[in-house]
Amino acid sequence: MLNTKQRLQLVTVAVALCGSPAAYAADKISIIVGGMEKQIYLPPVLCERLGFFKEQGLDVDLVNSRAGVEAENELLAGAVQGVVGFYDHTIDLQAKGKSIVSVVQFSQAPGEVEMLSTKSAASVKGPADLKGATLGVTGLGSSTDFLTRFIVSRAGLKAGDYSLLPVGAGNTFIAAMKQDQIQAGMTTEPTVSQLVKRGEAQVLIDLRTPDKTAEALGGPYPAASFYVQSAWLDGHKDEAQKLANALVKTLHWMHDHSAAEIAEQMPKDYYVGDKALYVQGLADGKAMFTTDGRMPANGPETVLKVLQSFSKNVQGKSVDLAKTYTSAYVDAAK
């Protein structure tokens, strides 16, 4: 069986041979996910498991990736048709001259948590105390990078007051925390619950619910989403509508079922050996998900404000938020 890297290499070669992403067979859609085992990106995996893609006549290939920034790069290279990643990339990329649009909004809160190692807990009471610390992110240029930099800058720290270290997620994040390579770091469920249960870390900043997100970031922060290149969307409206139909149906299904019922549908290895812990983490963060795939009111404005506060790439640039997402497909979803 091919690993993720080999699969992506094959896809990239195919694109090179055919000349463009549009050369793909119309019945095959490749979507890269910035960590399929993460609960924040649960909807597309659940959609596949429930058979909703096939119900729409779609042949969808979900490809796993270590971080959102890697998924973004694969999309821009034409290796995949879509990405399941954070909405903030659409704004960041528009500032770089790229046209990316979110078609379905999965969440209204990041679902991320800034974890503090137990070893550092005695000296750190808040983000302002992270001066001199090494902070873990999934990847440089990822949404965990964006959010981490905003949180510490809001607490008064400057870029040179701390270091960022890309450590991925899951086991690599846990290992970095245990080995004191990072003193704090941003990650998601089920990693959050694993660290707390083992006594290796505690929650410093919680972004798993809309209320806590608004408190920490100043408003709703639309995060996990399905986004594509605008050029692909213009030429594949029928496929985009079918994808929206399947994904919105999944969000409705999630709303109508308990965390335990949702977990029952997921691959067993996602439990990381502790199903009860997985279910509890999902129950704690279930409020992050939208019920209909629509963009939350004032969400794009909050994300832009966050990025403008620290990102030299976005600062001073004119960003047209209306071009970073569309509600047309979720509004028409059956």
User: Residue 4: pLDDT above 70?
Assistant: no
Query: b or e along 241-270 (b: 16 or more beta carbons within 10 Å of the residue's beta carbon)?
Result: bbbbbbbbbbbebbeeeebeebbeebeeeb
Give the pLDDT band of residue 16 (cuts 50, 70, 90).
very low
pLDDT at 8 over 60: no
Residue of 219, 86, 67 whose CA lies nearest to 154: 219
Q: What's the mean pLDDT in 110-122?
A: 94
125 and 100 together in one domain: no
Which pLDDT does position 18 carry in this prediction? Answer: 38
Q: Are residues 23 and 67 in the same domain?
A: yes
What does the pLDDT read at residue 142? Answer: 84
**pLDDT tens digits for 253-297?**
999 999 999 999 999 999 989 999 999 999 989 999 999 999 999
Query: Does 118 have pLDDT greater than 50?
Result: yes
Whether residue 215 is contained in a domain is answered as no
Residue by residue, DSSP assigns 144-159 as: HHHHHHHHHHHTT--G
Looking at the fold, whether 253 and 276 belong to one and the same domain comes out as yes
pLDDT tens, residue by residue, 142-191 = 889 999 999 999 999 998 999 999 998 888 999 999 999 999 999 988 89
Q: How many domains does the chain have?
A: 2
Average pLDDT, the chain: 89
103 with 122, same domain: the answer is: no
Confidence band, pLDDT 50/70/90 cuts, at residue 9? very low
Let me know whether 86 and 225 are in one domain: yes
Strand-pairing partners, residue 141, are none
Mean pLDDT of 192-201: 92
Sort strands 59-64 and 28-33 into parallel, antiparallel or unpaired.
parallel
Cis amide linkage into residue 190, ω under 30° from 0: yes
- Which residues lie below 8 Å from residue 50, measured CB to CB, with a gap of 6+? 250, 253, 265
Closest CA to 269 of 59, 6, 60, 64: 64
Show the domain range for 323.
4-109+221-331
**Residues 95, 74 share a domain:** yes
DSSP 187-242: E-TTHHHHHHHHTSEEEEEEESSHHHHHHHHSS----EEEEEEHHHHHH-HHHHHH
